[in-house]
Amino acid sequence: MQPVDVAIRDTEIKLGQFIKLASLVETGGAAKEVIANGEVTVNGEVDTRRGKTLRGGEIVCVGNLCARVVVGAAEEDYFDEATANDDFDPEQWRNV
């Protein structure tokens, strides 16, 4: 199966975080379980380390679902309210 590209913000991500981000599992608990059970492969090799560091280009699979780590997502792919610089006034739109 062709892996789906999944963008990350930083240059690396932990395996447990990535399989949840990539929707290969639904929860962090499920991520922990499939990793511990040896159901996760990284670049074709079984890996049971939830804290394994992944970098760009690595391919992670859970069963027949696979995702590729893509580093350097475009800035517009993420919204960070704390650093947003716009003129949006929530009070103006509250009762619309």
Sign for the CA dihedral angle at 65, 26, 16, 46 comes to negative
Q: How confident is the model at residue 77 (pLDDT cuts 50, 70, 90)?
A: very low
**24: domain range?**
4-75
For residue 22, is it within any domain?
Answer: yes
Higher pLDDT, 96 or 32: 32
For residue 81, is it within any domain?
Answer: no
For residue 94, is it within any domain?
Answer: no
For residue 91, is it within any domain?
Answer: no
For residue 32, is it within any domain?
Answer: yes
Total number of domains in the chain? 1
Task: Give the count of beta carbons closer than 10 Å to the beta carbon of residue 72.
Answer: 11
CATH of the domain at 23: 3.10.290.10
For residue 90, is it within any domain?
Answer: no
User: pTM higher than 0.95 for the full model?
Assistant: no
> Mean pLDDT, to the nearest integer, of 50-72?
94
